[in-house]
Amino acid sequence: MTPNGTVKGRLIALEGSGGRPMAVAAKMLERELRLRGAEFGTSAWDASDIFFQIARGERGLPAPSPRTLVLLYASDLAFRLRWQIRPALEDGMSVIAAPYLETVIGFGRAAGLSQAWLRQVFEFAPVPDECYRVPESTVPVDRRATPSNSFLEFCLAQLRNGPGFWDTEGIRGGCLSRLTHMEARGKCRVVTRRLANSAAGE
């Protein structure tokens, strides 16, 4: 695999269903980083435009399976790592990756894929220094994520289009519950203004 180079900066992962809550959390972190004079960059889902192009050109095609969607996400993440995340880290900057690994792994697990396979596919991605869960319960339904601004919602919309029957609400719930469980086990923290403040200073 491509050598990672010398990594000096900090990688901060934001995980959740995406959309407005994710954007607000990223802005909160950015503001704290700016206040502390830290240099930072942001890497968002679909920087490579793969999913946008699929959405634009999909008319009449059978929807991709969860496994195919995970591979497409991995390709987009490889793009983000090459052009956004690694160069910024190597320059000593902080990078906010929103989302990064745990959302896609949660989606894959909830859709029935094995944890081992998911971890192996994303072996090329460095472990983040910080991982935050973005809660969405406080956000009004009409301001939540949509298929055009969220990987998770994009995938669920694909699965709803068939073929086959998918319990998309169950998959959504499973993916988000997994993040809550990770938080309970101390593997990530819920992002709050106070935590954003301390994350920026760490």
Partner 1 sequence: MSLFPALARRRQTNRRMRDLVQSREDKRGLLIAFEGPDGSGKTTQRKLFKNWLKSEGHDVVTTKWNSSALVKPLVKARKAAHALSPEEFSLLHAADFRYRLETDVLPALWNGQTVVADRYLFTALARDAARGLDLHWLMELYRPLFWPDIVFYFSVSPETSGKRIAAERSPNYYEAGQDVTEIEDPLNSYMTFIGRVIQEYEALAKVFQFVTVDAEQSIFDQHRQIRALYSDGTRRPWQDWNQEVLVEWLNDHPEVAAQ
Binding site for partner 1 (CB under 8 A): 1-2, 48, 50, 53-54, 57-58, 61-62, 64-68, 71-72, 74-75, 78-79, 82, 109-112, 117, 120-121, 123-124, 163-167, 170-171, 174, 177-178, 181
Q: Please, which residue, 177 or 192, has the CB nearer to partner 1?
A: 177
Residue 96 and residue 17 in contact, taking contact as beta carbons nearer than 8 Å: no
Q: Running DSSP on this structure, what letter comes out for residue 58?
A: -
Give the nearer residue to partner 1 in terms of CB position, either 52 or 201. Answer: 52
Residue with smaller CB distance to partner 1, 106 or 130: 106
Our CB check for partner 1 shows the closer of 9 and 66 to be: 66
Q: How far is the CB of 180 from partner 1 (least distance, A)?
A: 9
Cα-only R_g, the chain: 16
- Residue 38 burial (CB < 10 Å; 0-12/13-18/19+)? middle
Nearest distance in Å: CB 52, partner 1: 10
